[in-house]
Structure 1
Amino acid sequence: MKLTKTLLSLAVGASLLALAGCGSDSDSDDEEDTSDVYTLQLLHFADVDGAPGAIDEVDRFSALVEAFRGMEDNTLLVSSGDNVIPGPRYFAASDSSLADVLGVPGNGRVDIAFMNALGVSASVIGNHDLDGGPAEFASMLTAETDGANRYEGAAFPFVSANLDVSTESSLAALAVAGGQAPASAAGKIAPSAIVTIGGQQIGIVGASTPALASITSTGNITITPPVVADENELYDDLAAVIQPAVDDLVDAGVNKVVLLAHMQQIAIEKALATRLNNVDVIVAGGSNTLLADSDDDLRTGDVAADNYPLEFESPAGEPVLVVNVDGDYKYLGRLVLSFDENGVIDTGALDPALNGAWASTEAMVRQLMGTVDSRVAAVSAAIRDVLAARDGNILGQTSVYLDGRREQVRTQETNLGNLSADANLWYAQKFDASTVISLKNGGGIRSAIGQVVQPPGSNDPADAQFEPTAANATVGKETGDVSQFDIEGSLRFNNSLALVTVTGAELRDLLEHAVAASADGATPGQFPQIAGMRFSFDPAMPARTTSDTNTGASTTGQRIRSLVVETGAGDVVIVRNGVLENGGTTYRLVTLGFLAGCMPTATEVGAASCGDGYPFKNLTTNLRSELSGESSSNDPGLADFAGYGSEQDAIAEYLQAEFDPAGTLSFSKAETDAATDERIQNLAVKTVDTVIVP
């Protein structure tokens, strides 16, 4: 944000502090505020779930929180989910060296320690919070003693009104009633919470995406409402589930309510804003949408998706605000609100000099005169030491930026998507030489491998330069080196690889699902990254609407216009001008175990749902083979930090074999824009379909 905005915010913040009197952010403050106008400073974040650079941002982020708390006593800090994700930081939290800062080390506990130190009052449950499974999620929330050491667990509750965790054995003991103070429900899971700040009660309600079961590990958690194809029907159903939790708070005398909504697509939070009564603010999560106002000073290369805050009207005609900022501790959202005596927001008092996305940069911390929280600094330093060793384990070389940005891998072919899909295909062929095609979801790629550099003197995002990885002299890493840390950060889930057999018709149906959610502004995790095939699609054509059961030639989708499989012996046309050809021919496909987990193996039944909703159920050959269950002698053995049969091992082995760390051959295929992509051709931006070679 501009210096003028910073100075103005300091001045106005001081004025607010004087007007507010001696309020407190303690949930035990029960002195009534008798003034007609109540001021609340809402600080918020989301999606801080493990990008490699996030650990370098959290110290400065804590300084922003400290600075703003010093300006306004009536401050509420919340998270709208995805606080953890299985990846480098998540697993490094189990290192024994972290006992000094965590008490008892354990997966994901570093991030909970950050949130405790920051003073978070509540968080909604995001999909990535459950990626390690319900039992591991419970371990992060629950205190644990090991001899003289003690891990304190979460000092705040997780809230979600549409999840019933009492049906999942590992979480049942954590389920409590809604409407409790955060301190009373710390480390528990509830529909809602009530925090008392400056003599006023603020209700906090949570809501998680109904699609949770298809994108994470939910165990036996009961999720409502069920997902339906009609979007408006789903939004109505979801609002009907959330509204009773809001009503319970209103019945308890609360007239100011914040909804923490983790919906993955901000369009859903927008839809909820016009369907819910007595909700004042919706803090969105899961979409990494950067909302900002006109005088926010954004980071290099960042562009606001829309204004901050977004303003809507409830069915009762009252204002509802929707806010969101980008994740990984890069931004702190700040919304200073004035409520009248009835708990209604005065939108005329919204001040862009105070509100917006505040970047956690050194310059901003200096301007705000913020102080880094010593507890955050101690934890970040300890985890940084553990991660540094992994950055020195070099697996390969690249001379280009490997594009794994969310807005890219979920909307178009990228060079990192191609590299990962190629690696999976190459690796799978070591186990089964008949494998010819590779399919993975773009949502499984969590970050780019490389750096974005802004030329000196330029603030224009269009001038940003995308370069290969930076050197790290302390561990012997040179520019362009791809390390274990880079791979773990980008492919954080480290999904298993699985082999399945599909017919041409079944492959087409899989790809119809892959592009079914593609639309302007959408970033669906199901969007594919592929190898061994090429296809074109038209997002203006009817999208597939059926379930995760494969319907083969009867697919309801009409978006795939051309599809070719590269067999090695020549191209086989599967779809031409939207018409199926060679639908009965079979192909061996390598995919992620997450996507095809609904299929049985030779020894195990499949999961209830296919990952990301992919239609792997009901294939003609209804059997998947996990590479990790095959003989390890098939593994090339060039890298050993990840288990064989996993996607991290596949790309590490592939880099070692093809783009070795000695630098004699670097990966050099630069990213291309969607108009020139060849594997995945979006006919909305590419005028000529070149999938089928005449």
Structure 2
Amino acid sequence: MRCGALIALLLVGLACRCEAPESRTLFVVHAGDMEGELLPREGEGGIARFSALVRALRDLDPERTLVVAAGDTFMPGPALGVRLEGLPAVALAHRDLAIDASALGNHEFDVGESFLDEILAASPFPFLSATVFFEGGPLGERQVRVGAGPTPWAEESSGMVLSRARRCMGRLEKTRDGHVCRGFAVGLVGATTDRLETVASVVPRARSLPDLDAVVRAIQQEVDRLDAEGIDIVVLLSHLQGAHRDLELVERGLRGVDVIVSGGGDDRLADPGHRLLTRDEPSPLCAGAAPTCYPLRRRAADGAPVLVVATDGQYRYVGRLGLEFDRRGRVRRVLPDSAPWPVDDRSLETLGAAPDARARALEEELKKTFEPAREVVAHTRRWLNGEREDARNRETNLGVLTADSLVHAARSRGLAADIGLRNGGSIRTSIGPRELGGMAAPIHRYDVDTSLRFDDAVVVVQTTHRVLKETLEAGLRGVGTGRGGFPHLDSNAVLVFDPSYPEQVRGADGSIARPGERVRELRYRRGDGSVVTVVSDGRLVEPDASIAVATLDYVARGGDGYFPRDAGEMEIAFVGEEPLRERAALIEYLRSEAWQEGLSYEDPPRKALAVVAEEGRQ
């Protein structure tokens, strides 16, 4: 980035000229979207393996290694309610992560401000965001508005929320006049998605920026302040919901950032020679990437290189990016051993590492806590696909199944429900083994809890065909890029969409600025067997006709852009008195006669149809 090599320092009346060395080497060890998935699954992941791998990669060159996370360090799920040693289990996991700083993601907000405050209080590292502001409350007390003042050292800022920080690559020594870095300093800036209000259960006193242009300005201000302090290597910890949006930051003129560690998209950036976990493939972003996908390479408006890295989440991968910088703080070259590392035994064996006793003990305690959840609730002859890349880009059998369970829950309680609708982003993982060999596999309560981690309330929305189409158009924005709003409909509803048509555009206030045209056909079958056509050839047949939609409270109230604010009058009724939650609804359905061990739930669902531009419009 821009040169900060000449810094005027006045010390006892004398001016001192300080120059950067000819070259500097930095290793960035990074992860993201861990989401509190603390236990291993099928020989991979888990906090014990993960923390051992992070420490082993750091110890390859400890004084020149920066360890960071790109946000979503935890989210709702089975482990989040577990307390050990007087703290949430995820807080104990943070103790073992050995990271220097993390971005503040969207899922950190999902359990409310008191829980987030407790996690921050126990955190051995700071959280960074230049794009979220807390207006009072406990989080407001933790947020440090750095402004134009000296940038805080990350090493001295545990538990704080900062817009930016600096980390000493070497030894940070305390002196009578402050701190001295025996090495070189790296600047850190954090960014949280501008879509916070639609992708998180936001705490009331949190405010995010309205759009990507505002995010660019906020980041640039922090980068400029680091530059003014002579810090010429800057790493952005970004949680903008995907690497494609981080690339857009560069396209919109962001300069002065050398590395962007991207989070929120579970983007698996990797090159052909990199080892990945079984069945994993590189992200679609890697198609045609040159000269590498790890890292993705761009140039800022001033011509300086910008490198973007990201890893898949759930404690399954750790990335290690090695860089050599010139004296101006610009990337000179990417070191050849830069790669994502799978979190498995093979990686640990390669590095001669092993999980430590404390992390292993944490996993064992969690397993004991979850023992009651090993209850078998049903059996399946189908692998139920909840893989992130699938559930966020197309209908899957698990998405259809859970939509069916919403309709079943409403009707069994005497409520009318014409169709079931849910978002793919609330499905967190698959259920059952991939290879069943013709046998029926057990479904445990823990499987349901892990897949439907938010356990949202089930509701029925009374609305119109027009509002339903607007909702589906919202869910189809950015289709193909893994956004969480992708719609899954029940078995009796068929959606035909075409991503080559214009997508819906929202204004800053959430209203529809331009209607979408991607929904081409929408039909559903009534209980009496008759078929209702809602949309034909892209047009609403009866815009004001009424319809009852069984769905989740989160999306009914605007989450993921569903049921837009200017949609007009809607009635939302909870299903059940408590009300019923989605996990219980699914278990009810799995125990009903309709389930039949899932034989009818093929994947992809036969009813699902997406018309892509290359195949011609239908």
Q: TM-score, normalised by structure 1?
A: 0.78
Give, as a single letter, the amino acid of the residue that structure 1 aligns with 2:493. Answer: M
Aligned: 1:334 with 2:320:
yes
Q: Does residue 607 of structure 2 align to residue 678 of structure 1?
A: yes
Relative to 1, partners in 2 of residues 1:52 and 1:338: Cα closer, same or farther, differing over 3 Å?
Answer: closer
- Looking at structure 2, the residues matched to 270 and 296 of structure 1 have their Cα atoms a distance apart, in angstroms, of 22
Structure 1 alignment gaps of length 5 or more? 1-31, 143-152, 228-233, 452-465, 471-477, 598-609, 633-643, 690-694
**Structure 2: how far apart are the matches of 1:685 and 1:647?**
37
The residue number in structure 2 matching 1:38 is: 24
Residues 440 and 597, structure 2, Cα contact 8 Å, conserved in 1: no
Within the alignment, does 1:160 sit opposite 2:129 as a pair?
yes
The partner residue of 2:137 within 163, 166, 169 is 169
Q: Which residue among 93, 101, 106 is the counterpart of 1:114?
A: 93
The structure-2 alpha-carbon separation of the partners of 1:555 and 1:508, relative to structure 1 and needing over 3 Å to count, comes to farther
Q: Tell me which residue corresponds to 2:580.
A: 645
- Is 2:599 the partner of 1:668? yes
The Cα RMSD (Å) is 2.5
Which residue of 2 is the match for residue 128 of structure 1? Answer: 107
Question: Aligned-pair distance for 1:47?
Answer: 0.8
Q: Residues 623 and 259 of structure 1: is their aligned pair in 2 closer, same or farther, counting only changes over 3 Å? A: same
Distance 1:161 1:508 in 2: 36
Contact residue 495 and residue 647 of structure 1 kept, 8 A: yes
- What code does the residue aligned with 2:321 have? L
Gaps of 5+ in 2: 1-17, 171-182, 287-292
Equivalent residue, structure 2, for 1:183:
155
| Distance (Å, rounded) in 1 between the aligned partners of 2:459 and 2:260 | 39
Q: How many residues align?
A: 569
Do structure 1's residue 542 and structure 2's residue 502 form an aligned pair? yes
Specify the alignment match of 1:485 in structure 2: 446
Paired with 1:656 and 1:338, the residues of 2 have a C-alpha distance of: 59
Give distance in 1, aligned partners of 2:519 and 2:583.
Answer: 30
Matches within 5 A, 1:255-654: 255-274=232-251, 275-305=253-283, 306=286, 307-347=293-333, 350-352=334-336, 354-390=337-373, 392-451=374-433, 466-467=434-435, 480-519=441-480, 522-531=481-490, 532-546=492-506, 556-569=515-528, 570-597=530-557, 610-619=558-567, 621-627=569-575, 630-631=576-577, 644-654=579-589
Distance in 2, matches of 1:298 and 1:204, equals: 28
Deviation at 1:54, TM superposition (A): 4.3
Structure 2 vs 1, CA of residues 656 and 51 (structure 1 numbering), >3 Å: closer, same or farther?
farther
Identify which of 27, 35, 48 aligns with 1:59: 48
Superposed CA deviations along residues 565-587 of structure 1, whole A, max 9, x for unmatched, are 32223111121112221222212
Q: Distance in 1 between matches of 2:577 and 2:202?
A: 30
Measure, in 2, the Cα distance between the counterparts of 1:312 and 1:78.
Answer: 21
Q: How far did 1:33 drift?
A: 10
- Tell me the SS of whatever aligns to 1:423: helix
Which moved further from structure 2: 616-625 or 287-296?
Answer: 616-625
Relative to structure 1, the CA distance from residue 49 to residue 351 in structure 2 (aligned partners, 3 Å threshold; closer, same or farther) is same
Q: 1:281 to 1:688 in 2, by over 3 A?
A: closer
Distance 2:127 2:614 in 1: 42
Amino acid at match of 1:241: A
Shift in alpha-carbon separation, 1:659–1:140, aligned structure 2, 3 A: farther
Separation (CA, whole Å) in 2 of partners of 1:294 and 1:542? 34
Counterpart residue identity of residue 355, structure 1: S
Compared CA separation, residues 52 and 449, structure 1 to 2 (3 A): farther
Shift of 1:659: 6.9
**Cα 1:276–1:623 shift into 2, 3 Å:** same
**Counterparts of 2:479 and 2:606, CA distance in 1:** 16
| Aligned equivalents of 2:38, 2:394: Cα separation in 1 | 23
> Are 1:226 and 2:210 matched, yes or no?
yes
Cα pair distance change 1:221/1:268, threshold 3 Å: farther
CA drift of 1:51 comes to 4.5
Give the C-alpha shift of residue 426 in structure 1. 0.1
For residues 511 and 589 of structure 2, the distance between their equivalents in structure 1, rounded to whole angstroms, comes to 31
Opposite residue 130 of structure 1, the aligned amino acid is F
| Residues 550 and 615, structure 1, Cα contact 8 Å, conserved in 2 | no
CA deviations 1:163-217 (Å, max 9, x no partner) are: 112x142311111144212232211111011111121111110001100111112
Aligned-pair CA distance for 1:61: 2.0
Deviation at 1:361, TM superposition (A): 1.7
Contact 2:432–2:442, Cα closer than 8 Å, also in 1: no
Structure-2 change in CA distance of 1:440 and 1:550 (3 Å): farther
Give the Cα–Cα distance (whole angstroms) in 1 for the partners of residues 34 and 318 of structure 2: 11
Residues 378 and 182 (structure 1), Cα distance of their counterparts in 2 relative to 1, 3 Å cut? farther
1:288–1:468 distance in 2 versus 1, CA, 3 Å: farther
Higher share of residues assigned strand: 2
Give the Cα separation in 2 of the matches to 1:544 and 1:271.
Answer: 19
- 3-state SS in 2 of match to 1:502: strand
SS at match of 2:30: strand
SS in 2 for 1:624: strand
Preserved CA contact (<8 Å) 2:311 2:319: yes
Once the two structures are superposed, residues 449-481 of structure 1 have per-residue CA deviations (whole angstroms, 9 ceiling, x without a partner) of 123xxxxxxxxxxxxxx33599xxxxxxx9611
CA deviation after TM superposition for structure 1 residue 52, in Å: 7.5
**CA–CA separation in structure 1 for the residues paired with 2:404 and 2:615:** 23
Q: Deviations over 1:554-610 (max 9, x none)?
A: 97222111111322231111211122212222121111100122xxxxxxxxxxxx1
Q: Give secondary structure in 1 for the equivalent of 2:372.
A: helix
CA distance in 1, matches of 2:340, 2:47: 15
Report the counterpart of residue 216 of structure 2 in structure 1. Answer: 239
Counterpart in 1 of 2:77? 87
Question: 3-state DSSP class of the match of 1:418?
Answer: helix
Quick one: distance in 1 between partners of 2:33 and 2:435? 24
CA change 1:489–1:574 in 2 (3 A) is: same
1:378 offset after TM fit, Å? 2.3
Q: Deviations over 1:363-406 (max 9, x none)?
A: 2211210132333222222112212331x211111111100111
Give the whole-Å Cα distance in 2 for the aligned partners of 1:138 and 1:245.
24
Contact 1:510 1:550 in 2 (8 A): no
Task: Give the structure 2 partner of residue 248 of structure 1.
Answer: 225
Return the alpha-carbon distance in structure 1 between the equivalents of residues 19 and 59 of structure 2.
20
SS in 1 for 2:597: coil
Distance change (3 Å), C-alpha of 1:252 and 1:114? same
Which amino acid in the other structure matches residue 233 of structure 2? K
Question: CA offset at residue 132 of structure 1?
Answer: 0.8
Cα drift, residue 90 of structure 1: 1.2
| Alpha-carbon separation, structure 2, partners of 1:374 and 1:127 | 31
Aligned-partner Cα distance in 1 for 2:569–2:359 = 52
* Contact 1:262-1:284 at 8 Å conserved across structures: yes
2:175 equivalent in structure 1: none
> Structure 1 residue 242: deviation in Å?
0.9
Q: TM-score, normalised by structure 2?
A: 0.87
Mapped contact 2:37–2:315 kept (Cα < 8 A):
no
Secondary structure at 1:346 match in 2 = strand
* Contact 1:573 1:581 survives alignment (8 Å): yes
What's the offset of the Cα at 1:265? Answer: 2.1
Structure 1 residue identity aligned to 2:143: A
Could you tell me which residue of structure 2 aligns to residue 658 of structure 1? 593
2 CA distance for matches of 1:480 and 1:330?
24
Which whole-Å CA distance do the structure 2 matches of 1:216 and 1:355 have between them?
33
Contact 2:58 2:67 in 1 (8 A): no
TM-superposed CA distance for 1:221, in Å, is 4.2
Task: State the AA in 2 paired with 1:416.
Answer: L
Cα gap change, 1:169 to 1:682, in 2 (>3 Å): farther
The amino acid across from 1:57 in the alignment is G
